[in-house]
A and B are shown apart, each in its own frame.
Chain A
Amino acid sequence: MADAVAVDTWDARGVRLGDVVNALADLRHQASEHNTARTAVMTLIAVAPGDEDAYSATTALRSLGGHHPARILILRPDPDQVAALDARTTLYAVRADGHQINFEEVTLCVSGQAANHLDSLVEAFTLSDLPVVVWYVNSVPDPGDPLLSVASAVLLDSRDAGGRLRNLLELARRRTVVDLSWIRLAPWRELLAGLFDPAECRAWLDGVTGVEVQGKTGPRTLLGGWLTSQLGLRPDQVALNDGKHVELRVSCRHGGETATFDVQRGERERTVAAQATLPSGPAHHQSISLADDPLPTALAVALTRLRPDVTWEKALSSATNLTV
Chain B
Amino acid sequence: MSKGTLFDKVWDLHTVGTLPSGQTQLFIGLHLIHEVTSPQAFAMLRDRGLKVMFPERTVATVDHIIPTENQARPFVDDLAEEMMQALEQNTQTNGITFYNIGSGNQGIVHVIAPEQGLTQPGMTIACGDSHTSTHGAFGAIAFGIGTSQVRDVLASQTLALSKLKVRKVEVNGKLVPGVYAKDVILHIIRKLGVTGGVGYAYEFAGTTFEQMSMEERMTVCNMAIEGGARCGYVNPDQVTFDYLKGRDAAPKGAEWDKAVTWWQSIRSNADAEYDDVVIFDAAEIAPTITWGITPGQGIAVNESIPTPEALSENDRELAAEAYQYMDLAPGTPIQGTKIDVCFIGSCTNGRMSDLREAAKVAKGRHVAEGIKAFVVPGSERVKQEAEAEGLDKIFEAAGFEWREAGCSMCLAMNPDKLQGRQISASSSNRNFKGRQGSASGRTLLMSPAMVAAAAITGTVTDVRTLL
A complexed with B: no
Q: B-contacting residues of A (Cβ < 8 Å)?
A: none
Q: A-contacting residues of B (Cβ < 8 Å)?
A: none
